[in-house]
Amino acid sequence: MIRVRLLAALVLGVLGVLALPAGPASAHAALVRTSPVQGTVLQQAPSEVVVTFSEPVGLVRDKIQVIGPDGKRIDKGDPTVSGDDVRIPVRTDVRRGTYLVSYRVISADNHPVGAGFTYSLGAASTTPPRPSDSTAGRTDRAVAMLLSAARWLGYVGLILLAGPALILLALWPNRLPRRGPTRLAYLGLGLVAGSALFELYLQAPYQNGGSLFSPSAGDLGDVLSGSYGTLHLVRLAALALAVPLLRSHLAGRAGKPAQVALAILAVVAVATWPLSGHPATTTAPLLTIVADAAHLVSMAIWLGGLVMLVGFLLRRANAKELDAILPVWSNWATLAVTVLVLAGTSQALINVATVGALLHTTYGTLLLLKIGVLAVVLAGAAVARRLVRRQAADKPQGVRRLRFAVFAEIAGAVLILGLTSALVQTTPARTAAASPAGSDVEQDIFSTTLDSKLYQLQLDIEPLTVGNSDVHLYAFTPDGKSLTVKEWKVTAALPDKGVQGIDVPVLALTPSHATGTVSLPTAGRWQFSFTLRTTDFDEATVTTEVTIK
């Protein structure tokens, strides 16, 4: 009955975590800058578009497009990756108007990054183009949730496999049958293998933005040929090779060479988790890979041992056996938790980096919650066990209380596992804090098109900081042709701080293009006015507001 309740608690814990809004499409590579600059208006068509990310990325087949104002693609050939840059060759014989760059790539930790931005040639279009592929920036929620569930099953399987394997090796009484723990170990093995297969399949729609049943053979081939697929195949191969060794180990017949071989295969299998995720992409990958592997192993030993205690030993072992088992297990658990905390701390220091990132990012919030829950679980477990030790182990009441304490520890650990799973799906704090908020890239330039009955005025101001800023003006007729301007007048004001209109001297470089420099002495929302005289009698004024930092 206890085991049934334990299994129910684990399942409910999993479902509870999966029900949380975990942000399924969290991107782990941040968009740093673009060329052309997002929102800018160019006078000459570029020969390529460059999108720069915070880390190297991989390309997703047919998911990078540049769409013209007529809705047709202008990208030519295949995009290439050079360091952190994605370079997209485009045609130069194109029309005036707004162009949409739509992309979906895979970050170094195998999470999709999808979004888009626009730039204009000559003048902005009245209606921006739409991407021909609507999946570029989308991640199917069902796919993301199932992928999270698959990772959960892998963690749970690792726990159920490690607990019996360790306890049967060193702490299992010879008089007790091994059937129950052996079944539990095989269940864990099946969960780890099944989760790896499920993740391999789900990664295809996850990385290309498709639905659950949309992957083609080519999509699956792309996954298998990448690092993610290779590492999962290595995990499956290690599990397959471990089966005969595990069988003899669980039966108590494995010799020293078999146990060493089994340990090596376990190390290989465990290493595939950090190598396919965040730890392999940090600023200190060797440290974080080792720390994450140690984190996984210590978690599996701690929780796997607790499951064995509450499910078998506390129910079947006699008082003499428990007197021998519990002190040893207590030392193991203390060591495992110590490694867990140290490994987690080292990863947190690298993934967070600053106090600001810890306090002002989703990753930091989840990490603080995890630390808080872990502290409560460990404190509660320590108090409960201290109370139980006051009673003899041969007293049924003492055993029941210890079983309850262990069960409560497992329940708290379920929540910790849930927060760990959420952290895997969340952009590391150091990356999130260093990248601009939201999906748009914040560029240090203001670019817009202002309309009047006489003309369209394309305006560029940079930089958007206190001090001198350059102003570029391009005049067009309402139908988009270059317009000759007889006189340009520009003023800048900051009414909120009592700054009246400042005349900005401008120089006409061509009949339709003028430039100037304005000195902005203080930050705030500045009001710019532009008066253009196009004939001896016709002139019009347009205004806009620009935020100066």
pLDDT digits (tens, 9 = 90+) for 428-443: 666 666 554 444 444 5
Our CA angle for 20, 26, 32, nearest 5°, is: 155
Q: Which helix (H) or strand (E) holds 468?
A: strand 467-476
Say if residues 231 and 158 touch (Cβ distance below 8 Å): no
Confidence band (pLDDT; 50, 70, 90) for 17? Answer: very low
Written as one string, the DSSP assignment of 324-384 is HHHHHHHHHHHHHHHHHHHHHHHHHHHHH-SHHHHHSSHHHHHHHHHHHHHHHHHHHHHHH
**Can you tell me the mean pLDDT for 333-339?**
85
pLDDT digits (tens, 9 = 90+) for 389-424: 554 444 566 666 666 767 777 777 667 666 666 666
pLDDT digits (tens, 9 = 90+) for 154-180: 989 999 999 999 999 989 999 999 999
CB-based burial label for 475 (10 Å; 0-12, 13-18, 19+) = buried
Residue 458: the pLDDT is 84
Q: Which helix (H) or strand (E) holds 304?
A: helix 285-308
The residue whose two tokens read 């207590």 is 330
User: What does the alpha-carbon distance between residue 163 and residue 324 come to, in Å, rounded to a whole number?
Assistant: 18
- pTM of whole model > 0.85? no
User: What does the alpha-carbon distance between residue 163 and residue 185 come to, in Å, rounded to a whole number?
Assistant: 8
Q: Is the peptide bond before 36 cis (omega within 30 degrees of 0)?
A: yes
Residue 442: the pLDDT is 45
Phi, psi values for residue 196, rounded to 5°: -65, -45
Residue 12: the pLDDT is 40
CATH architecture of the domain with range 31-121 = Sandwich (2.60)
DSSP 246: H
What b-and-e string marks burial along 350-378, b requiring 16 or more CB atoms within 10 Å of the CB?
Answer: bbbbeeebbeebbbbebbebbbebbeebb
Confidence band (pLDDT; 50, 70, 90) for 184? Answer: very high
**Can you tell me the mean pLDDT for 512-539?**
89
Joined together, the tokens standing for residue 522 give 């203080």
Distance of CA 473 to the CA centre of its chain: 40
Residue 122: the pLDDT is 85
Instruction: State the amino acid at position 230 in one-letter form.
Output: T
Written as one string, the DSSP assignment of 479-524 is TS-B---SEEEEEEEEGGGTEEEEEE-EEEEETTEEEEEEEE-S-E
Per CATH, the number for 446-548 is: 2.60.40.1930
549 versus 441: the higher-pLDDT residue is: 549
**Can you tell me the mean pLDDT for 442-463?**
81
DSSP 75: B
Return all residues near 107 (Cβ < 8 A) that are at least 6 apart. Answer: 27, 28, 29, 53, 55, 57, 58, 113, 281
Strand arrangement of the beta sheet that strand 80-82 belongs to: 31-35, 48-53, 85-89, 80-82
Mean pLDDT of the chain: 81
**Can you tell me the mean pLDDT for 117-143?**
72
User: What does the alpha-carbon distance between residue 115 and residue 509 come to, in Å, rounded to a whole number?
Assistant: 37
pLDDT digits (tens, 9 = 90+) for 60-92: 888 899 999 888 899 998 999 988 899 999 999
User: What does the alpha-carbon distance between residue 428 and residue 358 come to, in Å, rounded to a whole number?
Assistant: 10
**Where do the CATH 2.60.40.1930 domains begin and end in the chain?**
446-548
Where is average pLDDT lowest: 262-266, 373-377, 391-395, 416-420? 391-395
Q: Would you tell me how many other CB atoms lie within 10 Å of the CB of residue 10?
A: 21
User: What does the alpha-carbon distance between residue 347 and residue 289 come to, in Å, rounded to a whole number?
Assistant: 9
Euclidean distance between the first and the last CA atom of the chain, given in angstroms as a whole number:
65
Dihedral of the CA atoms 449, 452, 455, 458 (nearest 10)?
-10
DSSP 425: T
Compute the half-sphere exposure of residue 41: CA atoms within 13 Å on the CB side of its CA.
24
Is pLDDT above 70 for 273? yes
Where is average pLDDT lowest: 96-105, 121-130, 245-254, 428-437? 428-437
Is pLDDT above 70 for 27? no
Residue 3: the pLDDT is 44
Is pLDDT above 50 for 457? yes
Is pLDDT above 70 for 54? yes
User: What does the alpha-carbon distance between residue 451 and residue 378 come to, in Å, rounded to a whole number?
Assistant: 65
**Where do the CATH 2.60.40.1220 domains begin and end in the chain?**
31-121
Residue 387: the pLDDT is 52
